[in-house]
């Protein structure tokens, strides 16, 4: 049997990709947090889960560098509207093609409403969020879909931090430095703060995408033969920042409950949803906080994701507290 060739690795950083993550996060937030223009644009798109924006990563990557917000808007304006719908519906994501069916995706992209209805009814397509993500857009023609997506991109671009390009460029350099010294899978786990990627036969390459969005610290997507791993970039604040992250993670009773469940072997997010009675998005939010604090690890790929406790965190926390309270030399 031929040995599996390890995927190649790339880093793609820029305000275009960061903007799409921002839109995904904004789609989930209360609308009063948004500017009037962005609120109206998001309402017109109708996605309350943010999944549509992640499928547009492919539009950015296909267009090539520079990955700037200005270029994204230009690419959307000049792109074929049906092709944008193909990206939106997951034609270039192997999981969505499997779960939705290529024929129905192609038909719905060109305006077949019956095919669109079939997609919305498929329970695992779009991660089970098809109706909440696509119900509005899938009823539209391609040109109107394009117009609404572009309006949201233009509105969100106005709120990008002024130093976004500089921060993302620094994150790209940091990623390349880490990849230069660490093995691929170790580098991914380090950069993402606790995601242990399991290579997939479909993924010939891995694309690392640093972004700025604290509400969505880790985003996993697919495009053609690439696994996309988008992660929040952060400055190294040292022990004090780690202590704050730990305190934040343990400051919520439900997060502590989830951590205890993971410790007892409840390792799938679906099982944690059932055990806690919380929504899927809320459980994922809590798990993200626990992962960023170094208390749990996410492992897997599109076939299966599991959470496991980081047992080494116990000793790390003791050392961290010993340093902060000044007893490190006594231990």
Q: Would the CA dihedral through 83, 88, 93, 97 be positive or negative? A: negative
pLDDT digits (tens, 9 = 90+) for 56-69: 999 999 999 999 99
The per-residue pLDDT for 236 is 60
What is the phi/psi pair of residue 203, to 5°?
A: -95, 105
The sign of the torsion formed by the CA atoms of 139, 143, 148, 150 equals positive
Query: Which 3 state secondary structure label does DSSP give 23?
Result: helix
Q: Output the average pLDDT for the chain.
A: 92
pLDDT, greater one: 70 or 326: 70
pTM over 0.85: yes
Domains in the chain, CATH or no CATH each: 11-157 (no CATH), 165-232 (no CATH), 238-330 (1.10.10.10)
How much is the CA Rg of the chain, to the nearest whole Å?
Answer: 20
Residue pair 94/202 in contact (Cβ under 8 Å)? The answer is yes
Q: Give the least confident one: 16-25, 87-96, 281-290, 315-324.
A: 315-324
Q: Write the pLDDT tens digit of every residue in 288-323.
A: 889 988 899 999 998 889 999 998 888 877 887 887
Q: What are the residues facing 197 on neighbouring strands? A: 300
């Amino acid at each position: 049997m031929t040995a599996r060739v390890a995927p190649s690795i790339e880093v793609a950083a820029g305000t275009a990709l960061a903007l799409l993550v921002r839109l995904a996060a904004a789609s989930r937030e209360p609308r009063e947090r948004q500017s009037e223009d962005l609120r109206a644009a998001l309402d017109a798109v109708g996605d309350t889960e943010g999944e549509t924006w992640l499928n547009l990563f492919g539009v950015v990557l296909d267009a090539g560098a520079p990955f700037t917000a200005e270029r994204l808007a230009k690419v959307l304006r000049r792109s074929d509207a049906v092709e944008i719908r193909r990206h939106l519906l997951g034609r270039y994501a192997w999981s969505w093609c499997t779960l939705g069916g290529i024929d129905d995706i192609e038909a719905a992209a060109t305006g077949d409403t019956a095919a669109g209805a079939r997609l919305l009814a498929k329970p695992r397509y779009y991660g089970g969020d098809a109706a909440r993500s696509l119900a509005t857009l899938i009823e539209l023609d391609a040109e109107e879909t394009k117009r609404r997506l572009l309006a949201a991109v233009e509105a969100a671009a106005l709120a990008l931090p002024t130093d976004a390009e500089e921060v993302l460029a620094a994150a790209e350099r940091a990623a390349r430095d880490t990849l230069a010294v660490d093995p691929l899978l170790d580098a991914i786990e380090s950069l993402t703060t606790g995601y242990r990627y399991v290579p997939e036969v479909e993924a010939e390459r891995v694309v690392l995408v640093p972004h700025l969005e604290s509400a969505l610290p880790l985003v996993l997507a697919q495009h053609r033969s690439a696994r996309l791993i988008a992660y929040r970039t952060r400055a190294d604040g040292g022990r004090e920042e780690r202590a704050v992250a730990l305190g934040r993670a343990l400051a919520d009773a439900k997060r502590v409950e989830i951590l205890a469940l993971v410790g007892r072997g409840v390792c799938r997010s679906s099982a944690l949803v059932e055990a806690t009675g919380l929504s899927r998005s809320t459980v994922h939010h809590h798990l993200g906080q626990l992962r960023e604090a170094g208390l749990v690890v996410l492992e897997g790929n599109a076939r299966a994701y599991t959470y496991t406790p980081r047992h080494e965190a116990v000793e790390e926390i003791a050392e961290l507290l010993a340093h902060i309270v000044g007893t490190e030399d006594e231990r």
